[in-house]
């Protein structure tokens, strides 16, 4: 609820920071939107009594996770491009006139490719999906897993739709839906979060590359 409230207030935040240097405004936006997710993850891990890595599934990593993550990321991005192709929206190679504008773009791109995938996977797959799976364990492992993946994916899509505002492009629905399902299934099968993070990073990175091409 706190995260949704922050996102609903995002337009006001952007208005308040309109006169700031773009790098600082973008960084502020990223921090404000990330903090509620991170706080929820850390609080949940603390309450559970487990170590952070264990509570979120961040423990352990294998090259199978990396390979599967790359594959899921490529498939998710391919689905997005088939339905709503990404078109260039940023100057090729970041060739912009103002250094301030360039700084803002660099912060936005770093957030989209590195920061956001990690934080969103920690929250949606590491916390929400795992918590739902544990809560529904009495219904059987398969039922609990499927419901947890679907609910966490719907929440993931809803968050992006709310952030998009009044007009929601098709890609804003298809992208999070593909990433959410792919990362959710991968986390369910492996019990680890590493593959989902890789998949999310790959999908976002390709989207960013298409924007600056």
65-114 pLDDT per residue, tens: 999 999 999 999 999 999 999 876 554 444 444 555 677 788 888 999 99
| Cα separation, 35 vs 37, whole angstroms | 5
Closest CA to 52 of 63, 42, 66: 42
For residue 165, pLDDT beyond 50: yes
For 142, the 3-state DSSP assignment is: helix
pTM of the model: 0.90
Alpha carbon distance 111, 164 (integer Å): 17
Give the N- to C-terminal CA distance of the chain in Å, as an integer: 37
User: 130-147: per-residue pLDDT in tens?
Assistant: 999 999 999 999 999 999
Enumerate the domain spans of the chain.
2-212
């Amino acid at each position: 609820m706190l995260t949704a409230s922050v996102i609903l207030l995002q337009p006001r935040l952007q208005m308040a920071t309109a006169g700031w240097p773009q790098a600082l405004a973008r960084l502020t936006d990223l921090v404000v939107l990330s903090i509620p997710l991170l706080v929820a993850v850390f609080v949940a891990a603390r309450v559970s009594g487990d170590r952070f890595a264990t509570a979120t599934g961040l423990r352990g990593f294998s090259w199978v996770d990396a390979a599967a993550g790359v594959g899921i990321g490529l498939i998710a991005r391919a689905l997005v491009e088939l339905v709503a192709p990404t078109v260039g929206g940023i100057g090729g190679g970041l060739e912009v006139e103002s250094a301030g504008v360039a700084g803002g773009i660099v912060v936005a791109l770093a957030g989209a490719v590195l920061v956001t995938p990690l934080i969103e996977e920690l929250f949606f797959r590491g916390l929400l999906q795992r918590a739902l799976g544990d809560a529904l364990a009495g219904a059987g492992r398969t039922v609990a897993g499927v419901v947890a993946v679907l609910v966490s994916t719907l929440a993931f899509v809803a968050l992006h739709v709310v952030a998009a505002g009044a007009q929601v492009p098709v890609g804003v629905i298809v992208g999070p839906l593909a990433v959410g399902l792919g990362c959710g299934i991968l986390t369910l099968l492996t019990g680890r979060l590493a593959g989902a993070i890789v998949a999310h990073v790959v999908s976002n990175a390709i989207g960013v590359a298409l924007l600056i091409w």
